[in-house]
A and B are shown apart, each in its own frame.
Chain A
Amino acid sequence: MQTEPAVETSDLTKCYGKLLAVDHMNLKVNKGEIFGLLGPNGAGKTTTIRMLTGLTNPTSGAARITGRDCVRERLAVKQRIGVVTEESNLYGEMSAWDNLMFIGELYGVDKPTRTERSRQLLEFLQLYERRDDLMLTYSKGMRRRVRIAAALVHRPEVLFLDEPTSGLDVQSSRLIRSLIRELNEEGVTIFLTTHYIDEADQLCGRVAIIKQGKIVADDSPQKLKFTLHGEHLVEVAFGGNVSDVEAVLGKHPLVKDIVKHGDKYQIHTANPSAVIKEIVQYALSNGLEIISVNTKQPSLEDVFVKYTGLDAVQVERMEFRAMKAGGRRV
């Protein structure tokens, strides 16, 4: 039996004046998926989430959440979704508990249910003991955890998270990732954006890469990595003095590139087993000891680099900026 997708867009487009923020996006996220939307700053991730959650109207095209139109059935959509924005926008002058009670009232959750649900969520997020403290006194990680709890009080079918772990401490990030997995096991569809490519790789069953408002890749992380066949990496470290590795191995027809990183050489090739034979041959003929040799498959970061056109350094910078939690983005 065909079920309604949790999230579906058709030619979804958003313009801000002359700026085309999202360009005819066609996307389908099935119920029960953990879906990640990846892209550099300004690619249109946040605008997409804002359209899907009813915070802004599309310029053209349509979006549906569990079969309901995001514009025409705005309230029905909002009742079924939870949204966690990058800024933890809760009332600082109120306690965590009072914030959750207020949000529960707004979603029409009856008092016994919202009380029990809030207790469960705050216990899981290790904040129950501090539930009566004003939000102003909370750290950034604690505020984000309460913000996630607030998005879950009404038990949404689809949870949208915009940079859920950006700029957070390790403990908060782990708790949030663990909660995301647990919610997904309970059947909640997760739609997240993140700058952390490793995080997307670990969490998401499917990712889409967005560049300048357009989806340029959309598949499971593993399948996306397979699209980079011929992009294997062999990493080798030699004992003793070596000076001509790059010159000798670099000439081999199977070696696409060779780069020195610290005491290791990274060799890019389409045929790792043949290159490893060459490395062993080189070590034997020069009397060198091989300290370590590893082969690596392409990472999701490599896929991201390929589709966005950013280089590895730019990706690192992007992740660093996310760690420092930058401001609002398009």
Chain B
Amino acid sequence: MSNRLGDFVSRGISIAKKDARIYYFKPQIFGFGILIPGFVYLSFSLGRQIPNEILIPGLVAMISLFSASSIEAIAIPIERQTGTYELLQMAPVTTATIVFGKSLAGSAFGVVLSLVTAIGAMLLTGGAIINPFLFALAVIVGSFAFSALGMLVAAAVKDMPTANISLTAIRLPMIFIGGVFQPVEASPLQLRIISYLTPLSYLVDALREAMVATSIIFVVDLVAMLTWFIVLQMLAIMVLNKRLA
């Protein structure tokens, strides 16, 4: 049992390291993972007086969403096209190991960019985080969920343009209803209900909790993001396994 778990983790890490090496510096990642969320955020926040506890969690959550979900949305279509995804399928690893390794690569990218963004935003605005450890923990769990989202979309479509368009069609509405620009509580009831169906709103909420005052809500947010991560991973595994039939 421990041997199996060891193989699962070590081979997953090998896949993650390989993806990090090949895809982190692709120009498409810079465009879809960094430039787009940066511009979207600036276009909505410039000229407005936004308090730090709204600005920093919203910005960090958006960077996490876009960067963590972008890696595999680009990697999987490229690997399918070049046949290198088949190389992974030929190896003695389960689809779950492949999905875990790839999610790890996407989430690590999201965590690093989000934390760098958080540090930069704090330096520029003079904002402070009451509980940096919980802030980082929320970023890690949220990035895992977003990376799994990117995996699922990439697994379900045929090519890279379709993956990116589909992902953008999911991500943009999420940032408008997920409390990125204003707290979810300030939205109308119907939007509030929908926002609780997206993982982004839980990350924004958890980051705000970690920034100002941590309560039991933080744990609820964390559990919700973990649930999203597990559900999206399982769906990605199902979609990829279906292609074997």
Contact = CB atoms under 8 A, between A and B. Distances in A.
Contacts of A56: 244-245
B22 A53 contact: no
A226 interface: no
A102 B92 CA distance: 13
For chain A, what secondary structure do more than half of its interface residues adopt (helix, strand, loop), or is it mixed? Answer: loop
B86 A79 contact: no
A187 to B, nearest CB: 20
A83 B90 CA distance: 7
Interface string B52-86: 00000000000000000000000000000011101
B8 to A, nearest CB: 11
A83 B244 CA distance: 17
Nearest to B88: A106
A105 B94 contact: no
A108 to B, nearest CB: 6
Nearest to B97: A106
Given A55-B244, A56-B244, A57-B245, A89 B86 contact: yes
A55 B89 contact: yes
A89 B87 contact: yes
A137 B162 CA distance: 29
Interface in B110-143: none
Contact of B94 (A55, A75, A76, A85): A75
Nearest to B6: A108
A42 interface: no
Contact of A103 (B7, B87, B89, B94): B87
Nearest to B4: A75
Given A55-B244, A57-B245, A105-B14, A89 B83 contact: yes
Interface residues of A, number: 25
Nearest to B98: A106
Contacts of B91: 78, 103, 106-107
Contacts of B87: 89-90, 103, 150
A92 B81 CA distance: 13
Interface in A102-126: 102-103, 105-108
Contacts of A108: 7, 10-11, 92
A318 interface: no
Q: How large is the interface on B (under 10, 10 to 19, 20 to 34, 35 or more residues)?
A: 20 to 34
A5 interface: no
A32 interface: no
B93 interface: yes
A145 B91 CA distance: 18
Contacts of B90: 53-55, 78, 83
A211 to B, nearest CB: 26
A102 B22 CA distance: 13
Interface in A16-63: 53-57
Interface in B4-21: 7, 10-11, 14-15, 18, 21
B83 A87 contact: yes
A282 interface: no
A57 B245 CA distance: 5
Residue among B14, B87, B90, B244 with max Cβ neighbours from chain A (10 Å): B90
Contacts of B21: 93-94
B22 A93 contact: yes
Nearest to A55: B89
A93 B21 CA distance: 9
A180 to B, nearest CB: 19
25 contacts: A54-B90, A56-B245, A57-B244, A57-B245, A75-B93, A75-B94, A78-B90, A78-B92, A85-B86, A87-B83, A90-B84, A91-B84, A93-B22, A94-B22, A102-B18, A103-B91, A105-B10, A106-B14, A106-B15, A106-B88, A106-B92, A106-B93, A107-B91, A107-B92, A108-B11
Given A93-B21, A105-B14, A150-B87, 5 more contacts: A54-B89, A75-B92, A78-B90, A106-B14, A108-B92
Interface of B: 7, 10-11, 14-15, 18, 21-22, 82-84, 86-94, 244-245
Interface of A: 53-57, 75-76, 78-79, 83, 85, 87, 89-94, 102-103, 105-108, 150
